[in-house]
């Protein structure tokens, strides 16, 4: 499975029928999550790219009646915490360079 996120900017307030239509889109195999950010007027859709294409996801969202303005760049990936480095405290000190 290849999880991909796509973000759409929309105009206006989503109506009740648009919200219900998007809720039904979640039943499509491959749609993993829908997340509205009403302050930014964006909709994030997380989907399985091995099952769906960007065009299919966009068509599903448009079919809901939501008026899309644009597709935004994907959000940056979350940083991965690196494990702490292990140092050898018993190692002999490095010899100074020879002149």
* Average pLDDT for the chain: 86
Predicted confidence (pLDDT) at residue 10 exceeds the cutoff of 70: yes
Q: Where are the domains of the chain?
A: 3-72
Condensed to tens digits (0 to 9), the pLDDT of residues 16-54 reads 999 999 989 888 999 999 999 999 999 999 999 999 999
| Model confidence pTM above 0.75 | no
- 53 contact partners, CB below 8 Å, separation of at least 6: none
Q: DSSP string covering the chain, please? A: --EEEEEEEE-SPPPHHHHHHHHHHTTSTTEEEEEEETTTTEEEEEEETTT--HHHHHHHHHHTT--EEEEEPPPPPPPPPPPPPP--TTSPPPPPPP-
- List the CATH code of the domain at 3-72: 3.30.70.100
């Amino acid at each position: 499975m290849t999880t991909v996120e796509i973000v759409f900017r929309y105009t206006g307030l989503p109506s009740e029928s648009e919200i219900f239509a998007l809720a039904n889109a979640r039943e499509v195999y491959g749609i993993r999550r829908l997340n509205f950010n009403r302050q930014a007027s964006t909709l994030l859709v997380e989907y399985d790219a091995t099952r769906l294409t960007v065009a299919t996801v966009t068509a599903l969202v448009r079919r809901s009646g939501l008026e899309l303005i644009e597709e935004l760049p994907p959000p940056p990936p979350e940083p991965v915490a690196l494990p702490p480095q292990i140092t050898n405290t018993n190692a002999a000190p490095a010899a100074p360079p020879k002149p």
